[in-house]
Structure 1
Amino acid sequence: MPPHLPTVLTLDAGGTNFVFSAIRDFKQIVEPVTLPAEPNDLEKCIATIIHGFDQISEKVSPVDAISFAFPGPANYELGIIENLPNFKAFNGSVPLGPILQNRFEVPVYINNDGDLFASGVARIVLPELNSRLRTAGSKKQFYNLIGLTLGTGFGCGIVINGQLLTGDNSNAAGIHNTLNYSNSKWNAEESVSTRAIQRVYAERAGLSFDARLMPKEIYQIAKGHKEGNVGAALQAFFEYGKGLGNSISNILTLVDGLVVLGGGLSASWDLFSPSMFNEIHRKYENFKGENMDRLSVKVFNLEDPTVFNQFAQGEIKQVAISGTDKTIEYDAMPRTGIALSKIDASLMTSLGAYAFVLQKSDK
């Protein structure tokens, strides 16, 4: 008998709308339901969440779990949501998970979106990459992953040997709050976010900051498809890439794994990736002025098909074993790569929510 494939209700909790769906076997099995989020009224917001899951549960049966991403800060393990800047309704400790578990009588798992994006990528992208490597005759395989979401803010999730790293305080992978590369008074997100692109464009164009001018429009200006200051637009994405490259370098010193980018701003890859890779590949200096590599691994651009063969093959060497006539083969090129998710970040997050249920079931 084949193993039971759980049916999991999911929610994409945006600040304007809540989008509800259901996943089975990593496939969306119903037409999503969209409802207004009601971010400023707790009673209405929770009622909306219950109503949305009610509508989806009427279309699928039985339901095995509810799993979704929700903004923090939160104690995700207990399902308690704290004060949320973009959801004024959550002004204090709200036991959202227990409320839903009591109502639907199934396990409820809540995580942040960066964690669930990474969880989905680990289930979808890593197996595909490892299969490509085997097909190319490579023995190299990847088991660890850093997922980064690039959008309004800067999110991160880390998967180690198939297990999502959640931490002891539901606070793992908070890359957004690491030190900013250009201003020690800022966190990293001030240079890797929508507002960062808006800020640099305004500064370089000699304009007042305008939150209405979105990165997509600044991208169009940079490409010459929309009227505006082309140089300022290009500089905005250049600075974004530097900030992102610095953060990627820092996390790669701690987590030895593949990096996958998703989210709306990842569509601007052609403008920010050159400065991102320049920052990753730049040298450190010691106090004597001597250069040294910033990272101990070679970082490949996996969006460039011309480098995949080198990435796959590495640098195979035969080393003699002293006192014998034997040799041992090893790959002398420590390496990783950076790739783009080909699946929409919202859907990937839902797939990650499903993967998290499977991870909990495996335990």
Structure 2
Amino acid sequence: MYDNDKRVVITLDAGGTNLVFGAMQGNRFIVDPITMPSNAADLDKCLATMTTGFRQVIDRLKEKPAAISFAFPGPADYPRGIIGGFLPNFPSFREGVALGPYLEATFGIPVFINNDGDLFAYGEALGGALPEVNARLEAAGSPKRYRNLVGYTFGTGLGIGIVVNGELNRGDNSCVETFCLKHKKMPDIIVEDGAAIRAVKRVYGELTNNPDHGLEPKDICDIADGKRPGDAEAARRAFAEMGEVAGDAMATAVTLIDGLIVIGGGITGARKWFMPAILRELRSKMRQIGGNELDRVQMKVYDLDDEAEFAAFARGERRALKVYGTDRTVDYDPQKRIGILVSKLGASRAISVGAYAFALSQLDTKNE
């Protein structure tokens, strides 16, 4: 979608350390990225930096951009472009900043701001995981197609985005979240504390009796892989616990959404150490008071990055079903199934694709 669109949308990757500005046309970046310090603790400096960065991008363009569209980390009234609330990475915005209206007044073009997890899911639904899986299903001769997607980003936090029937679900309060679900092993703690970068670092430190180890998840992954000295078993257990805790939260979300799951973020490089634990949680059992056992997730869950599992996922349990009282048959597949896979776009590109597509979809809607 929008691969051949000629409209230009300015983008921003807003991090607590740096702001990275760009511009997209036809789902491709058309200018080299411009990186500037965020100055996130000083509102005046931060807004001045944003203004400067956007102006530098515009100066590099051959035509007037159609919109500005980007993700912002944390709570906000996204439809109105107002940022505010608990923002660890942008403390100067906590009291509320009408960022969208400010930028619209400054540049005279529409501005669209969304949660980064939302745009990750939207980008994957339009140009990543969802069309890729559907194309593979078609190539395998399967009539099954998917329209719903739950996207998770693993990083300093645990982000989520939900797309239903190709539409981004932003909720009534711009507050579609799972970071605040209960931690499986510590029910009075939020799940994010067990399913983000800090969780891997903390658990590795606890298992090695060295909480001040100073290692990052990439280092811990290298230890798990045997590429770096350290406690390999502790490293693997740290990732496995993250997978277990995240999988518990995912099971709740996907039960309600009934769609594919895609995960992104730099930590996905350790996939082989945490994905088995996620799958175990998604495939785990629960019981009724009377003792009857049932699946935690009512759909069968497949690892779509595994070729053999994808083949079984595509095959399903199709059979001919006779129509009662006639000689007719209908094609019937009784197997309810979903799958999980790692982003092929990468979280940053998926967010940019989502931001670009969201802006153009909103512009098209207004012009109808």
TM over 0.5: yes
Match of 2:356 in 1: 354
Q: TM-score, normalised by structure 2?
A: 0.94
| SS of residue in 2 equivalent to 1:77 | helix
* Separation in structure 1 between the aligned mates of residue 358 and residue 349 of structure 2, nearest angstrom: 14
Match of 1:287 in 2: 289
- 1:152 CA drift (Å): 1.3
* Separation in structure 2 between the aligned mates of residue 153 and residue 298 of structure 1, nearest angstrom: 28
- 1:4 CA drift (Å): 5.4
Deviates more, 1:345-354 or 1:219-228: 219-228
Match of 2:133 in 1: 129
Question: Is 1:149 aligned to 2:153, yes or no?
Answer: yes
Match of 2:53 in 1: 52
* Separation in structure 2 between the aligned mates of residue 128 and residue 196 of structure 1, nearest angstrom: 31
Question: Is 1:196 aligned to 2:199, yes or no?
Answer: yes
- 1:5 CA drift (Å): 3.0
Match of 2:38 in 1: 37
- 1:131 CA drift (Å): 1.5
* Separation in structure 1 between the aligned mates of residue 71 and residue 115 of structure 2, nearest angstrom: 5
| SS of residue in 2 equivalent to 1:176 | coil
- 1:158 CA drift (Å): 0.5
* Separation in structure 1 between the aligned mates of residue 343 and residue 235 of structure 2, nearest angstrom: 24
Percent identity, aligned pairs only, is 44
Match of 1:231 in 2: 233
Q: Deviations over 1:42-68 (max 9, x none)?
A: 001000001000000111211000000
After superposition, residues 112-123 of structure 1 pair within 5 angstroms as 112-123=115-126
Match of 2:184 in 1: 181
After superposition, residues 1-363 of structure 1 pair within 5 angstroms as 5-60=6-61, 61-83=63-85, 84-125=87-128, 126-172=130-176, 174-210=177-213, 212-363=214-365
Q: Deviations over 1:254-294 (max 9, x none)?
A: 00111111111111101001111111111112223332111
RMSD: 1.5
* Separation in structure 1 between the aligned mates of residue 226 and residue 139 of structure 2, nearest angstrom: 41
* Separation in structure 2 between the aligned mates of residue 161 and residue 353 of structure 1, nearest angstrom: 18
Size of the alignment, in residue pairs?
Answer: 360
Q: Deviations over 1:125-147 (max 9, x none)?
A: 22222122111111001111111
Q: Deviations over 1:5-64 (max 9, x none)?
A: 321000001111110000111111111111111111100100000100000011121100
Distance 1:234 1:3, change over 3 A: closer
Equivalent position amino acid for 2:36 in 1: L
* Separation in structure 1 between the aligned mates of residue 4 and residue 314 of structure 2, nearest angstrom: 34
Q: TM-score, normalised by structure 1?
A: 0.96
| SS of residue in 2 equivalent to 1:253 | helix
Deviates more, 1:322-331 or 1:138-147: 322-331
Equivalent position amino acid for 1:104 in 2: F
Equivalent position amino acid for 1:36 in 2: P
* Separation in structure 2 between the aligned mates of residue 3 and residue 198 of structure 1, nearest angstrom: 43
- Which 5+ residue runs of structure 2 have no aligned equivalent? none
Equivalent position amino acid for 2:276 in 1: P
- 1:303 CA drift (Å): 0.9
The answer to whether the Cα contact below 8 Å between 2:5 and 2:25 also exists between their aligned partners in 1 is: no
Deviates more, 1:184-193 or 1:286-295: 286-295
- 1:3 CA drift (Å): 8.1
Equivalent position amino acid for 1:72 in 2: G
- 1:209 CA drift (Å): 4.8
The answer to whether the Cα contact below 8 Å between 1:178 and 1:187 also exists between their aligned partners in 2 is: yes
| SS of residue in 2 equivalent to 1:20 | strand
- Which 5+ residue runs of structure 1 have no aligned equivalent? none
- 1:163 CA drift (Å): 0.6
- 1:202 CA drift (Å): 1.2
* Separation in structure 1 between the aligned mates of residue 77 and residue 308 of structure 2, nearest angstrom: 44
- 1:362 CA drift (Å): 3.8
| SS of residue in 2 equivalent to 1:106 | coil
Deviates more, 1:88-97 or 1:264-273: 88-97
